[in-house]
Chain A
Amino acid sequence: MIGTVAAIALVARREIVERARERSLWVSTGITIAVLAGVLLLPSALGFGGATKATVAVAGPQAERVAAEARRAQKAFDVALSVRRVRDDAAARRLVRAGDADVAVLAGGTALAAAADADDAAVAAVQAGSQAARGTRVPPPLPVTQAGDENADERSGIAFVALVILYGQLLGYGFWVATGVVEEKATRVVELLLSAICPRQLLAGKVIGIGLLGLGQLLLIGLFGVLVGSASGQLEVTADVVAAVGVVLAWFVLGFGLYSCAFAVAGSLVPRQEEIQSVTAPLTVLILASFFLSFGALDDPGSSLAHVLSFVPPSAPMVMPVRSIAGDAAGWEIAASAGLTLLAAAALIALAARVYGAAVLRTGSRVSLRTAWRAAAKG
């Protein structure tokens, strides 16, 4: 005889190995990563964010010194200067006129020419460079602090991405559980399985296997996000992103624990793949509603609706991550919400194991939840 843990591990292992062989898993991972890369890289590729770029045209060693000093000071002015060396002042002027340079350092570093649309900060940086080159001691510019949380926008962006990914993952993998249950039922392999192990072990193995696969995919996506973000310099608040990945992983576990068993029960009620859509519709609607309600939390994480929804188990796995990534939720709130979700998941798992066991062998036609429950209650 096989122990419960060993049986669950075998079933879970089969789910992971067989599904990892399917191309669809890798296609969906690839698409998610591509979308994520787009969200992370597109703004800087299009020139949004980061330091303002400007070109300085120089002729002669004196002018070059000015440019070098300007580059040393560029960080304080939030500009990124690149230097173009030309033969003489006339060539430097031509570059500025043509729009190929923003500022030209002329006459051995004693005069400047700026393009009409030149960035003020870039001109100021070159001015500071010229002062430093002439040996004039000027104190460095004062540091500026923005009022409020300077990362609020960025956090909100991260929360949005986290929400979309969580939503997709909960719905997608929940659906996978339902499909997997129906597959075993429709192909009748379930009877052979149940002659070897009991329904609870089969259910647990399936949910854990598919859940681990979902978690692994999230981990891969999260890792990629952090890598790309830090490499591109787009995410200066890498710590925030790492924390967000952690939040998403934790809430995927909680949310999947809650939803997957409900999806499994739904799957066990129908005999054919064609009926999955209709039988899982209530769950799909619940997840979709939670997703849209989470946008409210994204807009205003402190609203009372967001507060309430972040504690109600069906919506908590999407609203609470948004609130906690946005930095709005207190530690005790997160703990309480997670606790409630866990409690609801535990109750649902116990319930699901019984109904699933009673319904999964009834092939032929759709079983109503009530019939399955009665059969389960009978033992």
Chain B
Amino acid sequence: MGLRRRYGDTVALDGLGFSVAPGQLFGFVGPNGAGKTTAMRIVLGVLEPDAGEVRWRGRPCDEAARARFGYMPEERGLYPKMRVADQLVHFARLHGIDRAGARAAAARWLERLGLGDVAGRRTETLSLGNQQRAQLAAALVHDPELLVLDEPFSGLDPVGVDVLSEVLRERARAGVPVVFSSHQLELVERLCDAVAIVRAGRVVASGRVADLRAARSARRWRVELAAANGAAPDWVGAVPGATVVTSEDHAVVVELGPGGDEQQLLDAARRAGRVRRFAPEEPTLAQLFREVVA
């Protein structure tokens, strides 16, 4: 936490920190170059931080703990000439699983991910989709206690997305914290319990998705009037601290600044016309994202 990492003169991480609870599906989002991959590499011990530390179950994370992590790097890669099953056994054993256990786990995951028929084939002869599944199996084969997946959904077809979503949910239900990065914000919103939004090496918003949305919704209101008066809703201007975010024919979304009072807003709206709807506006994750990284 409070991770710092530089590449030469480029600051990749500038005090980035977040925490994930057991059984939580955690979305890690941010624009390209925000430092997501660097942060994940540091969690896995592939990179050393310049400052800060990674803690696991309350203690500084060591090699023994990292051996129980599962990782899917953004840059996919397996040994192209190795047979799929051999490859999974190899990775399981590198994580400290014994030979018999590794074989059993490899067979189990190959079956689970629909790769049973190609287990004996060289990895390079598999279709792209199946190679992705093999990559996922390599992250899961040692039954990790923490899953860190860098862009696991990129390049998957809709069926693949469903399979992966189900596997991640199942792992989370088993109590495994699952951290993954993605640019597909609708997917993150649907799947994740909590998110961290990063920008320029810092976390700019984090927490449970519902809380993040609620925090914003207290300040945003959607007002719909029965009669459209066509012109810009200048009635909003009369309310102290209120600014128009969007405005359509009948509806206007208003943000209240500090000290703004939604009751005053409602009164002003009623003076302007018949109010058909007055409700807090919950932003989608995508809207939140645009606001905080802008």
Contacts and interface: CB of A to CB of B under 8 A. Distances in A.
Interface of A: 1-2, 7, 10-11, 14, 17-18, 22, 183-184, 187-198, 361, 363, 379
Contacts of B2: none
B73 interface: yes
A89 B253 CA distance: 131
13 contacts: A1-B64, A2-B94, A2-B95, A14-B90, A188-B73, A188-B77, A190-B77, A191-B73, A191-B75, A195-B45, A195-B69, A195-B71, A361-B46
Interface of B: 41, 44-48, 63-64, 66-67, 69, 71, 73, 75-82, 86, 90-91, 93-96, 138
Contacts, number: 69
Nearest to A202: B94
Contacts of B79: 18, 183-184, 187, 189
Contacts of B90: 10, 14
A104 B125 CA distance: 73
A190 B136 CA distance: 16
B78 A192 contact: yes
Nearest to B72: A192
A196 B71 CA distance: 9
B77 A191 contact: yes
A7 B94 contact: yes
A189 B90 CA distance: 12
Contact of B91 (A1, A183, A192, A363): A192
B113 to A, nearest CB: 17
A2 B67 contact: yes
Nearest to A363: B75
A193 B64 contact: no
Minimum-distance CB pairs A-B, first 9: A188-B77, A188-B75, A1-B67, A189-B77, A1-B64, A196-B94, A191-B73, A2-B96, A195-B44
A195 B77 CA distance: 13
B262 to A, nearest CB: 50
A10 B94 contact: yes
Given A18-B82, A187-B80, A361-B47, A192 B63 contact: no
Contacts of A2: 67, 93-96
Contacts of A192: 71, 73, 77-78, 91, 138
A7 B41 CA distance: 20
A379 B48 contact: yes
Nearest to A11: B94
B7 to A, nearest CB: 9
A192 B148 CA distance: 12
A189 B67 CA distance: 17
Contact of B81 (A1, A7, A18, A363): A18
Nearest to A185: B77
Contacts of A11: 94
